[in-house]
């Protein structure tokens, strides 16, 4: 098993079967996250997008279309996940102050991601609009309806239920961290990095690589939240089916094998964490 190099080894968890503890270095204890996050800081405003802006109009039409959908999708989605993480931290405050602090650290990452993709929308895609809100509106035009539904209806609905106290934090984590970040973002990031592999847009690629690294700890934190819960079997019955559906929301810009990769990674993370018993076979 490849280990994320920035995550300290040796993390454990008593809620996980002994046989699986050797793999737990990818799911650190809650107390380790501050160190992890400290190593991952980056500044979205410092990335040079000038070469990308210059290269954009010279890309082949189909290549540019796929990149536009993917980058516009992240422009919309990162705004949404930044906004709707707030009730998670508020609810966690009543459960565990360490968890609340990690949600706060995650929120800072999501703000950073939203600012990066807004810069890409303005400077590279040159979407119309003088403000982030206007550019978000312009980005929506390039994104499939099912994708918008996930981030503009389903996530806000769960966040509102969390804020109202009518749903538990683990329901939120299953949607936010496992389905949206674990499947939809992982699939989209992999597809994007494939599109960017030719090096034509070096600044965009650098930013997406940074975002992808951040999102890995976010998903790992989500898994950790679920393992801390104590009764995981009752919580995970349909998460992979929902993840599979959701990964399809990108439409034709994310190939089937990339969607499968993302869902299988989700499955593997849950299984390694000892949460796989209730999951359907691969
Ligand atoms: Fe993000
Ligand atoms: Fe995230």
User: Ligand 2 center to residue 85 CA distance, Å?
Assistant: 9
Q: How many whole angstroms separate alpha carbon 91 and alpha carbon 176?
A: 14
- pLDDT at 24 (0 to 100): 39
Mean pLDDT of the 156-161 span: 96
Buried-exposed string 42-77: b where 16+ CB fall within 10 A, e elsewhere? bebeebebeebbebbeebeeeeeebbbbbbbbbbbb
C-beta atoms surrounding 82 within 10 Å: 19
Reply yes or no on whether the pLDDT at 26 is more than 70.
no
Higher model confidence: residue 53 or residue 267?
Answer: 53
Higher model confidence: residue 217 or residue 15?
Answer: 217
3-state helix, strand, coil in the chain (%, to 5): 70, 0, 30
Give the pLDDT band of residue 22 (cuts 50, 70, 90). very low
User: Ligand 1 center to residue 272 CA distance, Å?
Assistant: 23
- Minimum-distance ligand to the CA of 176? 2
Q: How many whole angstroms separate alpha carbon 212 and alpha carbon 218?
A: 10
- pLDDT at 95 (0 to 100): 77
Q: Render pLDDT for 183-224 as a digit per residue (tens, 0 to 9).
A: 999 999 999 999 999 999 999 999 999 999 999 999 989 988
Give the pLDDT band of residue 18 (cuts 50, 70, 90). very low
Q: What is the CATH number of domain 44-272?
A: 1.10.620.20
Mean pLDDT of the 75-96 span: 91
Q: How many whole angstroms separate alpha carbon 170 and alpha carbon 180?
A: 14
User: Ligand 2 center to residue 258 CA distance, Å?
Assistant: 19
- Minimum-distance ligand to the CA of 111? 1
User: Ligand 1 center to residue 112 CA distance, Å?
Assistant: 8
Buried-exposed string 128-142: b where 16+ CB fall within 10 A, e elsewhere? ebeebeebbebbbeb
> Could you tell me the residue ranges of all domains in the chain?
44-272
User: Ligand 2 center to residue 180 CA distance, Å?
Assistant: 9
Is 0.85 surpassed by the pTM of this model? yes
Rounded to a whole number of angstroms, the distance between the first and last alpha carbons of the chain is: 18
User: Ligand 1 center to residue 72 CA distance, Å?
Assistant: 14
């Amino acid at each position: 098993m490849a280990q994320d190099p920035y995550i300290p080894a040796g993390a454990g968890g008593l809620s996980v079967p002994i046989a699986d503890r050797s793999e737990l270095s990818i799911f650190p204890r809650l107390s380790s996250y501050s160190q992890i996050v400290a190593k991952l800081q980056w500044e979205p405003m410092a990335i040079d997008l000038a070469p990308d802006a210059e290269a954009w109009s010279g890309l082949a039409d189909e290549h540019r279309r796929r990149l536009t959908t993917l980058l516009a999708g992240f422009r919309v989605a990162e705004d949404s996940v930044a906004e709707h993480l707030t009730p998670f931290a508020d609810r966690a405050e009543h459960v565990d102050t360490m968890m609340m602090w990690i949600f706060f650290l995650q929120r800072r990452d999501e703000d950073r991601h939203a600012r990066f993709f807004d810069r890409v929308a303005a400077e590279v895609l040159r979407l119309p609009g003088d403000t982030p809100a206007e550019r978000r509106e312009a980005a929506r035009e390039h994104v499939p309806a099912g994708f918008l539904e996930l981030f503009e209806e389903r996530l806000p609905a769960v966040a509102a239920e969390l804020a109202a106290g009518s749903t538990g934090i683990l329901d939120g984590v299953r949607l936010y961290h496992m389905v949206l970040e674990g499947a939809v973002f992982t699939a989209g990031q992999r597809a994007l990095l494939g599109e960017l592999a030719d090096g034509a847009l070096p600044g965009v690629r650098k930013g997406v690589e940074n975002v992808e690294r951040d999102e890995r700890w976010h998903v790992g934190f989500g898994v950790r939240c679920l393992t801390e819960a104590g009764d995981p079997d009752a919580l995970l019955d349909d998460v992979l089916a929902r993840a599979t559906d959701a990964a399809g929301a990108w439409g034709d810009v994310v190939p089937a094998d990339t969607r499968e990769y993302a869902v299988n990674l989700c499955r593997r993370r849950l299984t390694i964490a000892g949460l796989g018993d209730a999951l359907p076979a691969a």
